[in-house]
Amino acid sequence: MASSPAVQSTARGTGQWRVVDIVVASVIAVAVGVVFVGWNVGYSGISVITAGFPPLAGLYTGGWLIAGVLGGLIIRKPGAAIYCEVLAAAVSALIGSQFGVSVLLSGAIQGAGAELVFLLFLYRRWNLPVALLAGLGAGLALAISENILYNALWTFEFKLMYAVLAAVSGIVIAGLVSWLAMRGLARTGVLSSFAAGRTADL
């Protein structure tokens, strides 16, 4: 006997992960993890540009934050941002990353930054402003952790500038690009089994 729309809606709102959620989140994470590998190569290439002013590298960091924001926007379940970001980081490490297994910690921290924003909205709002805020949260989480772990010898001004630029990068690259990617995927129909493919706030 088929469930009523009300029952189906209640089931979708419980936050419980379905098998399709796990599969699609994993596909997203693996795909973005491969992108991370190319992004890592690009980071080595911009070192010449940022050598004179290291905080400028913050503008490049948004590409490492996409998995969490995009995964959260599509799956819309608690933990999706962290899951996708950590798995994407693991994929990049397995393929080959100059940062080694430390990317797993980075992925967890950055995913948590996006996850916190989705949590603040109780996993109920998924529009552009929320996507941009999730990118901002991930960018700030990245900046704070890297200023502690890797930029400890920088001056306060350098650390602050890095945080500002990473936040901007998070908003534009992770937030805006992820939201546009979600819209594009929704229009193809591949997200028809997800709220992201059906809701009017796309």
Q: What is the pLDDT of residues 109-158, one digit of tens each?
A: 999 999 999 999 999 999 999 999 999 999 999 999 999 999 999 999 99
- Asked, for residue 4, whether it belongs to a domain, the answer is no
What pLDDT, on the 0 to 100 scale, is given for residue 202? 46
The number of residues making up the chain comes to 202
Asked whether residue 9 is assigned to any structural domain, the reply reads no
What's the mean per-residue pLDDT of the chain?
Answer: 91
Domain that holds residue 49: 19-197
Residue 172: inside a domain: yes
Question: Which is nearest to 64 in space by CA: 119, 145, 157?
Answer: 145
The pLDDT, as a whole number, for residue 103 is 93
Q: Kindly state whether residue 39 falls inside one of the protein's structural domains.
A: yes
pLDDT at 2 over 80: no
In the chain, % of residues over pLDDT 70: 91
Residue 14 lies in a domain: no
99: pLDDT confidence band, cut at 50, 70 and 90?
A: confident
Residue 11 has pLDDT above 50, yes or no: no
**Average pLDDT, stretch 19-48?**
93
Task: Give the span between the Cα atoms of 40 and 13, in whole angstroms.
Answer: 37
Domain annotation covers residue 163: yes
pTM: 0.89
Q: Please tell me the distance from the alpha carbon of residue 62 to that of residue 59, in angstroms, as a whole number.
A: 7
Q: Sorting pLDDT into bands at 50, 70 and 90, what band is 4?
A: very low
Is residue 202 a part of any domain in this protein?
Answer: no
Could you tell me which residues come within 8 angstroms of residue 113 by beta carbon, excluding any fewer than 6 positions away?
65, 68, 134, 137, 138, 139, 140, 141, 142
Q: Is residue 103 part of a domain?
A: yes
* Total domains present in the chain: 1
